[in-house]
Structure 1
Amino acid sequence: MSHTGRTTDGDARSASDIAADLASAPFVHLVPRADGDSLAAAGLVARALVDDGTPFQVSVGRTVAERTGRAESVDDRDGRTLVVGDSDADAVHLDPDDEPASVAAWRLANDLGGAPDAVLALAGAVAAGATPGAGATERLVDAAETTGRVVRRPGVALPTDDPTDVAHSTWLHGPFSAGVDETSALTDVADDIGSDADDSARRRFASLAAVETVTDDDATDRAGIAVERGLRPYATPDSATASVAGLADVLSCAAASEPGTGIALALGHDVADAAVATWRDTAARAHEALSEATTGRYDGLFVARVDDDAPAPVVARLLRDFRSPEPVALALADDAAAAAAVDDATVDGGVAGAMARTVTHTGGAYDGTATTGFATYECETKEFIHAFREAL
């Protein structure tokens, strides 16, 4: 059973209860976790607070401990704190367990009297792994299609209209990806068709992208399923980015490397160019790191050791979707690790629980959801791998 909000004792609270709390507060401190879904959720709530005339502040916390510290730094006499994700603070939490946080935030923003952006909520849901139109996102698609905010079309899901940006998409990984440095027919096609391609050209381009992704020598069977998320996008003709999944990609990459830029984009500020530049840089480092990683296979776990400056959360997702023959993928830099699992049934207590158990042995701090996890650690990489394997 999903809860929209809770206090630290776990009591469920409705969106209307949380909205009443926030609406009556003189100031609201939003503390989202560092992922695309949570950044979108924070943006939705913050925009509703603006409409209501309530001052707010947003500060991203990459780990449970960091969010706890940020939340506890606010005196409730001066305001109210809403944590998007988990923390140990005595605060209201937006941390649903059976839908993306951005979907819950869309309802919360409605209860605050705002007119929440269905495109932003959909992008957050896609960043969380949801399929647009399925489950809790059905209402979002209906709202966006009714107002003409989204239009389904053939092609590749990108944040820009430039086909050459397929090299940076983290919904795909193949010889055409930035930093992989392999021969790719797709690269030549992208240069030829341009940004004003018709539907027929977009369809051929998407087909070639899918073929090169799934027939890559190192691609796993799972790549054939994962590639679907990067195709047939919901285009967003009146938004700062070109598609829903493209915005989700930008938010996810920004969350991993420059969360402040991601928050600014989610708030609706004029930072699309800077956010896309962040996406290109982050995605290129992730693709290159994955192509050059040292990998190891264990029972139920596939590990990639990457350079310290690689965006581990993005690498872990690419590893799970396109390279891992096991249900759980772990990307390991020198002092930070990120994991991604096929589904929450794969790991007892979800990936978040496994990360929590791991750092009790290795030191450091953790964060996670049912299918993703992040940790800093204070031991040798071999020790962390061993501890994580035991935690699974």
Structure 2
Amino acid sequence: MATERRSAEPSSAPVASALESAGFAHIVARADGDALATSGLLARALTDRGTPFQVSVGRTVADRTARVRDREPATDDVTIGVGAIDADVTRLDDADRPATLAALDVVREIGSTPDPVLALAGLVAADVEPGAGESEWILETARERGLVERRPGVGIPTGDPVDGIAHSTRLRAPWSGDPDATRDALEGLGADLDEPADFDGDDHRAIASAVALDVVGDDEAAAAAAETIQRALRPYATPDHAFATVGGYADVLEATARTEPGTGAALAMGHGVHEPALAAWREDGRRAHAALEGASTGRYDGLFVVGIDDGPVETVARIAATYRSPEPVVLAVGDGEAAIATRGDDHLGATVEAVARELGADDSDSNGAQEGVEYDSSRRRGYLRYDTARDESTIIAAVRERL
């Protein structure tokens, strides 16, 4: 890889300084929920300042690099990268900290007030529990303003529990992806599923208990499922927001970042695209759960491989890593693309880049991509896109050698 052109280690201070003097800002973001929330936080702050901007979302390093190089910036233009880019830009994210936290620092440094609910959703998308560590102040801010409240139940984006639970990618049960089967599973709990506005704490609690039991009791559930499902329960509800819970908002950000990035960017910026975003989220969840249902699997030392014919590989890898895999790392392989996910703390960046190097040519092209291979990575996930002639066993062997 052409790492010598990779932008410098990120820091919030240079980003804040650059934005304060910018005549125009180009935000180029990685395609995940954390980066999408980051772009939204920055875009809203720029709107407050009256600074024109553009948000671009790129699925791979090469995609983002091309977006930077295709522009001819003016002298007072600033490009902010959220995710690796093989070009001279100011980076905001780093390997050990969610980009959302860095964005919060920048927004405050330039004198704007961040949206706490968007920030919390970005943190959840980055696998950070709201209120943990550096995020304590943003959770307290949201609570003081009455924007969030903790309650029993499941963290879904919709008020309709059947719709929300069936399509959620934050859990996996035998009925996931099938609204009719989900309704059957929730019937008889004493809650009127058609009147969710009338739910009390007992109704939410009964649904959460039934969901948890089905998740953990699934014959295909991994031991990690019992711990993972806890993160989807007792959500932070958002009574005045378009999405019902912080966790549900995060799920929508994740889905739109990869399947409808234009819609996702508009959503993060605060535009009224909630219905198109929900439609994209439903489709992503339906396809991911259907793909898992028909997937082939293979187990190796430290690696669980999921082979799918069709479906969103990154969503499949994430669900499998947290609910299906007996190993800490999952490789989901589809048609011309693959995704790696881990439930551990190891950063996958070096692994994914090394795999891309092996699968590609010795030299990278002018956009920083290997011949026929593009890649991306974040703290716990990686993505590979390659020509369809590559054999699945070659992909598996390349990943196994680097774990």
Paired residues for 1:195-344 under 5 Å: 195-196=196-197, 197-308=199-310, 310-344=311-345
Determine helix, strand or coil for the equivalent of 2:299.
Answer: strand
CA contact (8 A) 1:176 1:187 kept: no
C-alpha distance in structure 2 between counterparts of 1:227 and 1:171, whole Å? 8
- Contact 1:168–1:178 (8 Å) recurs in 2: yes
**Which residue identity is paired with 1:65?**
A
Q: Deviations over 1:227-282 (max 9, x none)?
A: 01111110111211111000000000111211111111101000111111111111
Flag the 1:75–1:161 CA change in 2: closer, same or farther, 3 A. same
Letter in 2 for 1:289: A
1:383 counterpart residue number = 394
8 Å CA contact 1:250–1:279 kept in 2: the answer is yes
1:373 aligned to 2:376?
Answer: no
- Take 2:294 and 2:355, find their aligned partners in 1: how far apart are those partners? 26
Give the secondary-structure state (helix, strand or coil) at the position aligned to 1:269: coil
Provide the residue aligned with 1:68 in structure 2: 65
Alignment of 1:1-392 (within 5 A): 8=6, 10-11=8-9, 13=11, 15-78=12-75, 79-165=77-163, 166-179=165-178, 185-189=184-188, 192-193=192-193, 194-196=195-197, 197-308=199-310, 310-345=311-346, 350-363=347-360, 364-378=373-387, 379-392=390-403
Task: Measure, in 2, the Cα distance between the counterparts of 1:28 and 1:183.
Answer: 45
Structure 2 Cα separation of the partners of residues 168 and 189 of structure 1: 21
Which residue identity is paired with 2:402? A
2-side partners of 1:61 and 1:335: how far apart?
A: 17
Q: 1:11/1:360 Cα in 2 relative to 1: closer, same or farther (>3 Å)?
A: closer
Bigger shift: residues 45-54 or 173-182: 173-182
CA RMSD of aligned residues (A): 1.8
3-state SS of paired residue (1:248)? helix
Cα distance, 1:89–1:48 mapped onto 2, change above 3 Å: same
Q: Following the alignment from structure 2 to structure 1, what is the Cα–Cα distance between the partners of residues 62 and 180?
A: 39
Preserved CA contact (<8 Å) 2:7 2:87? no
Distance in 2 separating the partners of 1:271 and 1:85: 25
Quick check: 2:242–2:274 contact (8 Å CA) kept in 1?
A: yes
Q: 1:121/1:72 Cα in 2 relative to 1: closer, same or farther (>3 Å)?
A: same
Displacement of 1:77 in angstroms is 2.8
Q: What is the one-letter code of the residue matched to 1:261?
A: T
Flag the 1:317–1:133 CA change in 2: closer, same or farther, 3 A: same
- Quote the Cα distance in structure 2 between the aligned partners of 1:39 and 1:201: 33
327 and 54 in structure 1: CA distance in 2 versus 1, 3 angstrom threshold: same
Q: Structure 1 residues 279 and 68, CA, compared in 2 at 3 Å: closer, same or farther?
A: same
Unaligned runs of 5+ residues in structure 1 are 1-6
Specify the SS of the correspondent of 2:196: coil
Q: Distance in 2 between matches of 1:181 and 1:164?
A: 8
Gaps of 5+ in 2: 361-372
- The answer to which structure, 1 or 2, has the higher relative contact order (CA under 8 A, 6+ apart) is 2
In 2, Cα distance between the equivalents of 1:12 and 1:39? 17
Query: Which secondary structure state, in structure 2, belongs to the residue aligned with residue 334 of structure 1?
Result: coil
- Cα-to-partner distance string for 1:362-383 (whole Å, 9 max, x where unaligned): 2301110231100112311111
Do the aligned partners of residues 59 and 382 (structure 1) sit closer, same or farther apart at CA in structure 2, a change above 3 Å counting? same
Whole-Å separation in 1 of the counterparts to 2:18 and 2:307 = 45
Contact 1:189/1:205 (8 A) holds in 2: no
Q: Provide TM-score, normalisation by structure 1.
A: 0.93
Q: TM-score, normalised by structure 2?
A: 0.90
Relative to structure 1, is the Cα distance of residues 304 and 18 closer, same or farther in structure 2, using a 3 angstrom cutoff? same
Q: Aligned residue pairs: how many?
A: 380
Q: 1:181 to 1:391 in 2, by over 3 A?
A: farther
Task: Provide the C-alpha distance between the structure 2 equivalents of 1:101 and 1:338, rounded to a whole number of angstroms.
Answer: 21
Paired residue secondary structure (2:26) = strand
Q: How many Å separate the matches in 2 of 1:73 and 1:20?
A: 24
Alpha-carbon deviation of 1:11?
Answer: 4.8
